[in-house]
Amino acid sequence: MKTNIILAGVGGQGILTIAAVIDTAALACNLNIKQSEVHGMSQRGGAVQSHVRISDKEIHSDLIPLGKADLIISVEPMELLRYLPYLKKNGFLITDLNPFVNISNYPELKKVYQEINSHPNSILIDAKKAAKDLGNSKATNIILLGAASSQLPLSDNSLQEAIKTLFKRKGDKVVNKNLEAFNKGKEITTEIVL
């Protein structure tokens, strides 16, 4: 069993928090993990990605080879498309639908959505709105994680425990808000798939 995940977004959107939850859950389940991330210049509003690999066997490369990603989770719709060369045939795509426009030549949003929808296993959700509705707009990333959780080789329970571990320092309120966001995300995809 080996699962390759690419997390995508713009510097500052919280993809490393998604990675940290997945890592923590996988480690607690005694699985091997490798997770590469971007530090430095690109973090300043540039395109960033993280390669997350989980396996019960030894993992060699820190980077996912082209065409080997099972899943791409993106916090931004155009950023999702940037990593398509890594996607496995019939791999799974999930993204927030809200664009992050900090460049003058951002493509027409309709075309971005069309491109995403042309892939068989793609899900576009309004995670930002869902997070706002829960009164915690910072939890967009955790909504997305919840929405993608059925595609991860990790149980909901292990992911929820990881959220508790990671946010513990920030107090019970933050823990609960994030657990709520995770469950909300799950709910959204269940509705779409049904």
Question: In the complex, which residues of this chain contact other proteins (CB under 8 A)?
Answer: 10-11, 23-24, 27, 32-47, 57, 59-67, 78-79, 81-82, 84-87, 102-108, 111-112, 115
Q: Which is nearer to other proteins, 84 or 134 (CB)?
A: 84
Minimum CB–partner distance for residue 180 and other proteins (Å): 25
Which tokens go with 105? 């030549």
3-state secondary structure of 76: coil
Q: Which is nearer to other proteins, 37 or 187 (CB)?
A: 37
The whole-angstrom separation of Cα 58 and Cα 49 is: 23
* Nearest of 139, 152, 161, 185 to residue 52 by alpha carbon: 152
Minimum CB–partner distance for residue 69 and other proteins (Å): 10
Q: Which is nearer to other proteins, 97 or 134 (CB)?
A: 97
Tokens 């027409």 correspond to: 108
Q: Which is nearer to other proteins, 73 or 130 (CB)?
A: 73
How far out from the chain centre does Cα 68 lie?
Answer: 17
CB atoms within 10 A of CB 99: 16
Minimum CB–partner distance for residue 60 and other proteins (Å): 4
Name the CA dihedral angle for 60, 141, 130, 126, rounded to a multiple of 10 degrees.
Answer: -60
Minimum CB–partner distance for residue 32 and other proteins (Å): 7
